[in-house]
Amino acid sequence: MINKTGKLSPHALIEFDLMIKGDKDVSFFYGEIENNSTVDKRFFHLKPEYGIEKLDKKSEFPIHIFYRKEKKYKALFLFNILEATLFNKDQIFLKELEIITGSLLGYSKEDIELYLEKNGLN
């Protein structure tokens, strides 16, 4: 996430550290980014031409998807899932999308199950 100063929060920086190590292919954040200097230049930012501004209009905050160059397909898949999640509140459908999203973002099955439980989607 992005903190109030417009810089990436420690959580976000950990996500980028995982990407640098090759443990993560895609990262998803929301919030304003005033200065991209904290974003590692080895990663790519999903651009508006893919329709990401539609998600910005539907959510409270701007949405950012970063990806490793060779994993752009995962970023686009994540974008499609986020779009479906924001526009469809069917709980069964939402649960499946959250499982796929968690997997794309590199979370373990246990972490995904805990997230679902905490959000009443189990």
DSSP letters for the chain: -B-TTSSBPHHHHHHHHHHHHTS-SEEEEES--S-GGGS-TTEEE--GGGTHHHHHHHSSS-EEEEEEGGGHHHHHHHHHHHHHHHH---HHHHHHHHHHHHHHTT--HHHHHHHHHHTT--
In a domain, 78, yes or no: yes
In a domain, 5, yes or no: no
Query: What domain count does the chain have?
Result: 1
In a domain, 8, yes or no: no
Which pLDDT score, from 0 to 100, does residue 2 have? 42
In a domain, 4, yes or no: no
pTM: 0.68
**Along the 122 residues of the chain, how does pLDDT read in single tens digits?**
444 444 445 456 678 788 888 888 998 877 766 555 555 566 777 665 555 566 656 666 777 888 888 898 998 898 888 777 766 666 566 788 889 988 988 888 999 899 888 888 87
In a domain, 6, yes or no: no
Range of the domain at 37: 14-119
In a domain, 2, yes or no: no
In a domain, 9, yes or no: no
In a domain, 3, yes or no: no
